[in-house]
């Protein structure tokens, strides 16, 4: 049976046995799985990982065991540090933080790794400066965990040192530094990520594209638009999400100019690349501002023949956020065409919410043809006054030959 199957069955005993394998790769994977499925109250598991973290002859196995103890919880990681530093678990957190900070100077890299992990888990910013210094550690495993820990603090003071790590020789460190800068999220922290959109590492491009939507200025618009042509689908998807987030974040006085630039750039991109993520944001997004922006942009960048865009916009007529529903109606009017007419005719029945029906009728009055006129004439005695009012207006326009 494979280690993966043992992990699926949460068979910690078999995974602990694998820590004694002759293969370093097997021992490392066993440690990683124990971090995922182990229990901090299971003494044999903790002891096995402690032995691996302190005495295994392979550096990657020791590192995996340190991280596994961290995964089990602060208590397990502190046990490792207690053994190596003499720390008492009963001490105040600020005392513990000081001892962990001192451990970042220890000779053993595994101890420095554990200290970086532990400091990242403490609610004590006094350890930040020590973590920043650890970003220059000679061991890339320590630099990696120092980057990750800095990311948990998301403190502006770590930005210069994290930026330097974007040129680290270890790609894992570069990714961790990019993630940490994204967590900081200030314009100063995000600016170095712009260049990463052209990096050869797909993961770095994805991290950068996903983080740049947090900016409070329009500078990332054009680089993100270029990323819409990236060879990687995950990078393109992250870029679209960030463009929408960017529209939600930029100051009001800049929003109009940014919207114009966004629409211009998105219209020049491949339709499927842009439309599919926008539809996903509109249908599954949790933030009203993002759904509004997605609804608004779809009416300007989608083709009238785009069934998924029209379907999503038609569904959004019933959105609980009134502005999202209104933007959806406006976008459907802008798109027009047979598909819009067909989807809206499906939504004028009484099984749909009153407001959504009224909006559907309004748009049909702008884009409909003879079939729409025939259907709407049957709604002149609808039980909803809002729907009837829209019907009378729409029928009048259609009989007159248009709006």
Q: What is the pLDDT of residues 321-331, one digit of tens each?
A: 999 999 999 99
Residue 325 is inside which H or E element, if any? helix 322-335
Is residue 399 very low, low, confident or very high in pLDDT (cuts 50, 70, 90)?
confident
* CATH number of domain containing 51: 1.25.10
Residue 167 within any structural domain of the chain: no
pTM of the model: 0.72
Task: Dig out the tokens for 284 from the structure.
Answer: 């599954």
Q: If pLDDT is split at 50, 70 and 90, which confidence band does 154 have? A: very high
Residue 244 lies in a domain: no
* Range in 109-123, 150-164, 190-204, 285-299 the model is least confident about: 109-123
Ranges 85-99, 307-321, 376-390: which has the least confidence: 85-99
Residue 262's contacts (CB-CB under 8 Å, 6 or more residues apart) are: 221, 225, 243, 246, 247, 297
CA 266 to the chain's CA centroid: 20
Q: Taking residues 275-282, what's their average pLDDT?
A: 89
| Residue 169 · residue 201 · CB < 8 Å | no
Nearest to 241 by CA among 200, 233, 154: 233
Name the nearest CA neighbour of 318 among 283, 275, 277.
283
pLDDT above 70 for 275: yes
Supply the mean pLDDT for the chain.
88
Looking at residue 380, the DSSP 8-state letter turns out to be: T
In this model, does residue 131 exceed pLDDT 50? yes
From residue 402, alpha-carbon distances to 118, 366, 380, 394, 399 in Å are 69, 7, 19, 9, 7
Q: Does residue 57 lie in a domain region?
A: yes
pLDDT at 372 over 70: yes
> Residue 92: its pLDDT value, please?
46
Task: Give the chain's radius of gyration (CA, Å).
Answer: 28
For the segment 206-222, the average pLDDT, to the nearest whole number, is: 90
According to the model, what pLDDT value does residue 326 have?
95
Cβ contact 254:225 at 8 Å: no
Report percent pLDDT > 70 for the chain. Answer: 94
**Residue 80 within any structural domain of the chain:** no
Alpha-carbon span 60 to 46, nearest angstrom: 18
Q: Which helix (H) or strand (E) holds 280?
A: helix 271-284
| pLDDT(89) > 60 | no
pLDDT at residue 228, rounded to an integer: 82
How many Å separate Cα 121 from the centre of its chain? 21
Query: For the chain, how far is it from start to end, CA to CA, in angstroms?
Result: 71
In a domain, 5, yes or no: yes
Mean pLDDT of 132-144: 95
Q: Given this model, what pLDDT does residue 319 score?
A: 93
pLDDT band at 121 (very low <50, low <70, confident <90, very high): confident
Full domain range(s) for residue 5: 1-72
What is the structure's pLDDT at 111?
Answer: 82
Looking at residue 346, what is its pLDDT? 93
Q: Which one is predicted more confidently, 272 or 130?
A: 130
The CA distance from 26 to 11, in Å, is 15
Instruction: Report if residue 215 sits inside a domain.
Output: no
Write out the E strands in 39-116.
Answer: none
For residue 245, tell me if it sits in a domain. no
For range 147-166, the mean pLDDT: 95
Report the number of distinct structural domains present in the chain: 1
Flag whether 50 is in a domain: yes
Contact between 293 and 248 under an 8 Å Cβ cutoff? The reply is yes
Q: Using 50, 70 and 90 to split pLDDT, how confident is the model at 100? A: confident
Measured distance CA(78)–CA(76) in Å, rounded: 5
- What is the C-alpha separation between 244 and 230, in angstroms, rounded? 18
């Amino acid at each position: 049976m494979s280690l993966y199957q043992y992990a699926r069955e949460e068979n910690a005993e078999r995974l602990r046995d694998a820590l004694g394998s002759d293969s370093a790769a097997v021992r490392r994977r066993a440690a990683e799985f124990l971090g995922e499925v182990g229990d901090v109250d299971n003494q044999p598991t903790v002891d096995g990982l402690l032995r691996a973290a302190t005495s295994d002859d392979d550096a990657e196995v020791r590192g995996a065991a340190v991280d596994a103890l961290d995964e089990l919880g602060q208590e397990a990681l502190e046990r490792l540090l207690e053994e190596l530093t003499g720390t008492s678990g009963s001490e105040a957190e600020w005392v513990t933080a000081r001892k962990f900070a001192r451990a970042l100077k220890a000779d053993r890299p595994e101890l420095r790794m554990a200290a970086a992990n532990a400091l990242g888990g403490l609610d004590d910013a006094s350890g930040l400066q020590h973590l920043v210094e650890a970003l220059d550690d000679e061991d890339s495993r320590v630099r990696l965990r120092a980057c990750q820990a800095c990311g948990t603090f998301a403190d502006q003071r770590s930005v210069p040192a994290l930026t330097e790590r974007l040129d680290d020789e270890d790609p894992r460190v570069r990714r961790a530094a990019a993630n940490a800068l994204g967590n900081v999220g200030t314009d100063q922290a995000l600016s170095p990520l712009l260049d990463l959109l052209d990096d050869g590492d797909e993961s770095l491009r994805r991290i950068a594209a996903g983080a740049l939507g947090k900016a409070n200025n329009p500078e990332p618009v054009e680089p993100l638009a270029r990323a819409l042509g990236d060879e990687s689908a995950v990078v393109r998807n992250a870029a679209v999400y960030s463009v929408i987030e960017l529209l939600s974040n930029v100051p009001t006085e800049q929003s109009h100019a940014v919207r114009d630039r966004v629409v211009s750039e998105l219209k020049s991109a491949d339709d499927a690349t842009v439309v599919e993520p926008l539809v996903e944001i509109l249908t599954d997004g949790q933030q009203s501002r993002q759904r509004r922006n997605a609804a608004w942009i779809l009416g300007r960048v989608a083709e009238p023949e785009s069934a998924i865009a029209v379907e999503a916009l038609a569904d959004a007529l019933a959105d609980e956020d009134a502005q999202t529903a209104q933007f959806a109606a406006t976008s459907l009017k802008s798109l027009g065409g047979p598909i819009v007419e067909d989807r809206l005719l499906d939504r004028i029945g009484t099984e749909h919410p009153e407001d959504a029906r009224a909006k559907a009728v309004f748009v049909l009055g702008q884009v409909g043809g003879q079939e729409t006129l025939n259907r709407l004439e049957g709604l002149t005695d609808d039980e909803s006054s809002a729907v009837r009012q829209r019907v009378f207006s729409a029928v009048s326009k259609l009989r007159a030959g248009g709006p």
